Structure 1
Amino acid sequence: MSVQAKVPVDLLSDALDVLAAAVTISPAVPSTSHMVVRVDGLESPEVPGALGRYLVGAVAGAVGLDARLSEQLLARGVNRQEEIRREVAGLIGPTNAFPTADDRRFRDTRRNAWIGEGVAHALLMLGAMRETPCVDGQVQALTAVHPTTTRQGLDSVSAYVQAGVLGIAIGESKSTCSRASENLGDAIGLFVQIEQGEYQQDLRRELSAFRHVLSPDLAVQLRDSLWTDNASYLPMIVHQDPYNFMNPRPNLAGLAQPLQRRRVIVVQLAQFHAFFNAVADAMRAAVPEVVV
C-alpha cells in the first residue's frame, strides 16, 4: 500500500511541531528595566530544516493574519514555484558563498536580518499554538513576514489575549554575531520612537487588518489607544558572543509600558554563521516541497 504524500500545509504544520518540540523558551526573568526571555534549542539538528520550510511557507502565503496555516492563498504551480524560488534567492542569496565585502555585507545586514525576523515570526506562531513566555498572553493574530529585506517599518505586530483582555505586541529583531549590546540599543530606540508618537499609521493599519480575523469579543477591543494602553515590547536579539542581557537599560526603563510587558527575547547561538547557512540551505531546498 502506497503512502500518500503530505500536502504542503501539513508539511508546514509538521515543521511547527518540530520547532515546538526542539525549542525551549525559559520563563521571563526580571531585571531592573525589563524581562529577559531566553530561547534555546534552535541549533538542534532538526531545526534548520523545519524553520526553512516554515519560512518558505510564510513567503508563499500559507501563514494567515489569524496566526494559522492555510492553503487558501498558498502559491501553487510551476510558474509560481519559480517565482517563489526567485523571491527566496533575493532574500537569502542563491548560495552561501560570500567572497566579497559587498557579499558579506548582504549576508550580515540583509540575509541574516531577514532570517532573524523569521525566527521571531516562528516563535510568535508557537505562541499561537500555546501560551509561551515570549508574550504576556496567547497570540491571536500576527502580521506577515516582510516581503523584502529593505522594507521599512515594524518587524512584527501581533495581537494577544490574557484573561479575555486584548493586547498588542510589537517586535523588533536584530541578528548580530558580536554586537549584541549595540543592536539591543538600536531595537530599544524603535520603542522610544513609538512612545514619542511615531509609527501610529503603521499600528493603525495593522490593527485595522486584525479586525477581520479576531473573534467578535476581541475585535471590539481594538481601538486607537491600544498601543499606549496595553502593548508589549519585544526586542529580539540573535547573537553569538556573550553579553549579559540582565544589565539595566535606561531607555527601556523609561518607557511607559510596565516591566512585565518589556520582554527582551534572547537567542544565543554557538555557531552563528553555520546556523544561518543551514536555514538558508533549507529554504532553497523547501521551495519545491511547499509550492507544488
Structure 2
Amino acid sequence: MAFPTDRPAIWLVTGTSRGLGLHLVRRLLERGDSVTATTRSSDRLLAALGDEVDASRLLPLTVDLRDEAQVAAAVRKTTEHFGGLDVVVNNAGYGFLAAVEETSDRDVRDMLDLQVVGVWNVLRAALPVLRERRSGHIVNVSSVLGLTAVPGWALYCAGKFALEGISEALAAEVADFGIDVTIVEPGYFRTDFLTTDSLALPADTTEHYPAIRAMVDDHLKLQGGQLGDPAKGARAIIDRVVAGEGPLRRLLGSDSHAYTTAKVRALRDNLDATATTAPATDHPTTG
C-alpha cells in the first residue's frame, strides 16, 4: 500500500475494549495516528484507556458489527471526522469451547454473524473508500486456529477458517487498487480471551466428552500465563502495515508457528499419500 508519510494514518479498528484491540488503539494513539475504535461499549474502552490518550485523535463508536447500517455509519463518520481512511483492522471476536454435538444452532449463528457477516459488513463499507483512494491496508485478525483445528474449538475454527478464505480471495481482488491485505494469526496471548467474560461455553453439555470438560478447566487456569505479549503483538501489526510489504500471513507467537508447522507437515503427508490415487477420478483423455 502507499502508506501516508506526510500525515498520521487513519485507522478503523473493531473489537477494541480489551485484549489485542485495546493495545493496538493505545499504541496507535501514542504514535500520533487517528483511530476510530468500534466496540460493544465505548464507556468500557474509554475507561480502559484512561486519561493517557489524546482524545482529539480518537473516535470511539459503539457498533454492532452484525448490523450493516451501523457499520456503514461508522465508516462514514470516520471519513467525515478524520477526512479519510487508510487502514482497517477486523479484530472483534470471542472464543467458544465445546464439542460439535454440544454447539447449538444459536451458538453457531451468533459466532458466524460476528466472525463472518460482521467482517463482511466492514469490508463492504470500507472498500469503496480505499478503492477510490487507490491505497489502503486491511488487516484481518484470524488465529492459529484458522489454520489448524483442535477438539473443542470447532465453532471458533469455523469462523476463523472462513476468515482465512475471505482474506485470500480479497487479497487477489483488491491488489490492482493498491490495497494490501494481511491475515494475522496469533497463538495464545496474555489477554482476557480465556476468562469467563470472553470465552463462551455451551448451555448444555454431555457426559460423552470428558476430555473437552478437562480442556475448559485447563484453559481457564492458563489465563495470565499465555505465551504471547499483546503489546508486542500490536506493534507487530503496526510494523507490517507501515512496511507496506510482506507475506499475506503474519503469524504471531512461537506457539502459532509450531502448530502451523505441524499442520503443514500433516498436509504434506496427506498429499504424498494420495498422489497416485487422486488422478483416478480424472476424465479419461480422448482422441
> Same fold by TM (over 0.5)?
no
Q: Bigger relative contact order, structure 1 or 2, given CA contacts below 8 A and separation 6+?
A: 1
TM-score with structure 1 setting the length: 0.29
Higher Rg: 2
Greater helix share, structure number: 2
